[in-house]
């Protein structure tokens, strides 16, 4: 992504079992794990990716 951003609506109320039936549920898992951040949240590391 090279410092870019991705516009995505993320449903944070996802149950782990929904990952098989809802491909977009993976975004909630990435957000919870800290691999992506929501707008307004400062990244912990300068190389961290963002989802907006």
pLDDT of 1-52, one tens digit each?
577 788 888 888 888 888 889 888 899 888 888 888 887 765 565 555 555 5
Per-residue model confidence (pLDDT) at position 16: 84
For residue 19, the model assigns a pLDDT of: 85
Grouping H, G, I as helix, E, B as strand and the rest as coil, residue 3 is coil
From CA 14, how far away is CA 29, in angstroms rounded? 8
The confidence score (pLDDT) of residue 51 equals 56
Structural domain including 42 reads: 5-51
Report the pLDDT value the prediction gives residue 21, as an integer from 0 to 100.
Answer: 92
Question: Tens of pLDDT along 10-20?
Answer: 888 888 888 88
Burial of 19 (0-12, 13-18, 19+ CB in 10 A): middle
Number of independent structural domains in the chain = 1
């Amino acid at each position: 992504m090279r410092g870019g951003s991705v516009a995505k609506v993320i449903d944070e109320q996802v149950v782990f079992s929904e990952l098989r039936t809802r491909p977009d549920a993976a975004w909630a898992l990435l957000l919870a794990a800290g691999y992506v951040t929501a707008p307004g949240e400062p990244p912990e590391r300068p190389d961290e990716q963002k989802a907006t």
